[in-house]
A = this chain, B = another copy of it.
């Protein structure tokens, strides 16, 4: 599975992968038909997911699935239902690819949720089951669920001197008024026609994005600004990842000075346990943490706007500081130590106390000029 994943990697960097994803689904079907024809017990082979098979790969600097694989058999009371679910969901994905339409996870659940004839048994009873089947198919085919036409959540906005082609439209991210372009859940089929930017700033807060956008920060600094609201969706992560790999743009991450902000960055850069099998598509190893850093607090007088760490903050801080990829980083350990010493966290919007456009006129230009980020 690992070798296959690596082979596929280059292919997956291309934008239109639907036909290849379909090919993989058809192969899965054929292998099962072959088992049946040979009177073998039909089986699916796939990598083991979960903590026991997740490794932090120091070379790629991402969380990856290890080499453990498992077989799932049709004639096995413990496997049979999962086997059926995976095949049912594979058929649904194949149909979606055939008609070139996209479904949400919830849609797939309802499409799979039917009663098996002459029984009282449903193929799936809970969305978790169809979600797991989609993860199975990601591992089996080596393609992300977006390439199987199953979309994640839609959220977030983007602006900058970028022209894209999407669904037959040519869209200029610099000419979309105060709103910007609404990032779709699935960005696999977007074609970049022009990318005139030196870097991308991703921020966790839409209000900060609106601040930078109103100040036309992206125009003055020749960059791209992107945000969601809280959650960093898969669509956003893939869009950032594509700008990073296809256009060599540095991805700078701007969050609050708190453990939640550090976690957002951690997941974007290194990946997460639940997405270890999608590390190549979903992680951005080149992402840099721009701020807010501990020394910004002192430099810009943000102590006045400190918020006291609560018990949850303190335990999160401890957890995150022990992550494999932060454990040996002097710079990160210095950040964590300072937060502990401060006993406080600080929000990006505290910069507004220095003036509404302090962030876009002083803070960010200084930070970027000084390359004041953590790699």
Name the residue on B nearest A102 (C-beta). B214
A206 touches B154 (CB 8 A): yes
Task: Give chain B residues whose Cβ lies under 8 Å from the Cβ of A115.
Answer: 304
Number of copies: 2
Partner of A177, one of B96, B155, B184, B304: B184
Q: How far is the CA of A207 from the CA of B176 in the complex (A)?
A: 22
- Chain A stretch 156-197: residues in CB contact (< 8 A) with chain B: 156-158, 164-171, 175-186, 189-190
Q: Which of A6-14, A131-139, A345-353, A363-371 contacts B (4 or more CB under 8 A)?
A: A345-353
A181 touches B176 (CB 8 A): yes
Number of interface residues of A (CB under 8 A): 62
Task: Give chain B residues whose Cβ lies under 8 Å from the Cβ of A190.
Answer: 177
Q: How far is the CA of A176 from the CA of B107 in the complex (A)?
A: 24
A111 touches B353 (CB 8 A): yes
B349 touches A107 (CB 8 A): yes
- Chain A stretch 286-334: residues in CB contact (< 8 A) with chain B: 304-305
Task: Give chain B residues whose Cβ lies under 8 Å from the Cβ of A178.
Answer: 166-167, 184, 186, 189
Q: How far is the CA of A189 from the CA of B229 in the complex (A)?
A: 23
Q: Is A356 an interface residue (CB 8 A)?
A: yes
Task: Give chain B residues whose Cβ lies under 8 Å from the Cβ of A353.
Answer: 110-111, 113-114
Partner of A352, one of B99, B103, B179, B304: B103
Q: Is A274 an interface residue (CB 8 A)?
A: no
Q: How far is the CA of A374 from the CA of B306 in the complex (A)?
A: 50
Hey, what's the 0/1 contact readout for A65-102 against B, CB within 8 Å counting as 1?
00000000000000000000000000000011001011
Q: Is A357 an interface residue (CB 8 A)?
A: yes
B177 touches A166 (CB 8 A): yes
A181 touches B179 (CB 8 A): yes
Q: Is A40 an interface residue (CB 8 A)?
A: no
Task: Give chain B residues whose Cβ lies under 8 Å from the Cβ of A214.
Answer: 101-102
CB distance from A156 to the nearest CB of B (A): 8
With A154-B207, A206-B153 in contact, do A107 and B352 touch (Cβ < 8 Å)?
A: yes
Q: Is A337 an interface residue (CB 8 A)?
A: no
CB distance from A172 to the nearest CB of B (A): 9
A207 touches B106 (CB 8 A): yes
With A207-B106, A210-B102 in contact, do A182 and B185 touch (Cβ < 8 Å)?
A: no
Q: Is A272 an interface residue (CB 8 A)?
A: no
Partner of A350, one of B110, B114, B156: B110
CB distance from A320 to the nearest CB of B (A): 24
Partner of A171, one of B157, B175, B209: B175
